[in-house]
A and B are shown apart, each in its own frame.
Chain A
């Protein structure tokens, strides 16, 4: 059956674009399976660079995100890392955060147009990633010098000691805390998801430093939140006919391979590696988004820069964003390789000892 597609909405697929989407899907899946999120932020601009309209790119990305999160969550649940209750409680308040985030976005779009909206997204990206990313990275370096094991942060300990009804116990996370302290973390996760499409950059650190969950459980439970929010978002976009199933399936082909490898990786490496990967990615992406700021400032007439310089910075921004994801994947694969080699050596020594 030969049907002509709307060329304004759906691009012609070439071999190079298929390979590009598959590889980015795989790397994104690997990072998501390991730190719970973070793979999707390159896909939307990546698809747009192939000529896919923004709304179709966002919708197709979201449609691949929730089944990937589901597969990753099931895998990590089998390893005893997922706290379903924590994920669902967080997802409920994240849902409200998404709605508020969309309202703010629409308001900014009406007031300052597309350039204003893009500037808001980029400034949010830079501010959140620099503040949260620096802390995650600093904490990762600190615990890496010590034992590498997770210690309940002081803020989380303090909040857990406050008996404010209703108190909830999250068994897998080993946390008992008031529902009211989970709400702002979930809400901020949803707001960030609606703004920069990666809620996990707030969700995972929030679960670690505010609620007191370990890095493994926080990153695994984030997949439950990503599934719930992704499914909700996909229903919305698909009802408007914005999903390009071809793009979704190509990305999914790579990301389902990656997400399972990333999930396996969490059982092989030290827990602190999750924070190292997350902190590194966040800080590099912050640099990438900072380079994109002049473009929007010029469009709004707030800055005067040569078009060539703006074009160069825009290109550099996208390349650095891809580099952030690639670096994350390299750290994960490197740590997995080292851990497997160390395990093999240990097994060999044990076998030698027994003999």
Chain B
């Protein structure tokens, strides 16, 4: 159940980030020639492409992360928890055998 809620949350976040990402891409590619010309003037204008890729890495990165989560492709994080329970088991057995 918890997995489903997470998937649902991821889906809505994916939509939110996806809209933001699409908006950034639309703005840049709607005025592609002008943006490319301004961004390649050099000097202080160097800040513009760098700021843009940081913005894209946040919005599109957020979209990508939530897309994989919404599709159920998530990292395996249970390994450590499984190990922790395994180390506790012998203690219980020892008490029972004694």
Contact = CB atoms under 8 A, between A and B. Distances in A.
A238 interface: yes
26 contacts: A2-B34, A3-B33, A3-B34, A3-B37, A5-B37, A10-B40, A64-B53, A67-B56, A238-B39, A238-B46, A238-B47, A241-B40, A241-B41, A243-B39, A243-B49, A244-B36, A245-B52, A249-B25, A252-B53, A256-B57, A260-B61, A260-B68, A267-B75, A267-B77, A268-B76, A339-B76
Contacts of B73: 261, 264, 340
B74 A245 contact: no
Contacts, number: 115
Contacts of A67: 53-54, 56-57, 61
Nearest 7 Cβ contacts at the A-B interface = A241-B42, A238-B46, A67-B57, A267-B75, A241-B40, A71-B61, A3-B33
Given A239-B46, A245-B35, 8 more contacts: A64-B53, A238-B45, A241-B42, A244-B36, A249-B53, A257-B64, A263-B75, A267-B76
Nearest to A66: B53
Nearest to B52: A245
Given A245-B39, A256-B57, A264 B50 contact: no
Contacts of B32: 13, 246
A9 B40 contact: yes
A21 B68 CA distance: 21
A343 to B, nearest CB: 7
A315 to B, nearest CB: 30
A4 interface: yes
Contacts of A68: 57
A2 B33 contact: yes
Contacts of B43: 239, 241
Interface string A1-39: 111110001100100000000000000000000000000
A339 B73 CA distance: 12
Interface of B: 25, 28-29, 31-37, 39-43, 45-47, 49-50, 52-54, 56-57, 60-61, 64-65, 67-68, 73-77
A43 interface: no
A117 interface: no
B33 A235 contact: no
Interface in A201-224: none
Nearest to A74: B61
A180 interface: no
Interface residues of A, number: 44
Nearest to B44: A239
A145 interface: no
B61 A256 contact: yes
B40 A242 contact: yes
Contacts of A79: 75, 77
B53 A248 contact: yes
A104 interface: no
A68 B37 CA distance: 24
A83 B45 CA distance: 33
Contacts of B42: 238-241
Contacts of B50: 63, 231, 234-235, 238
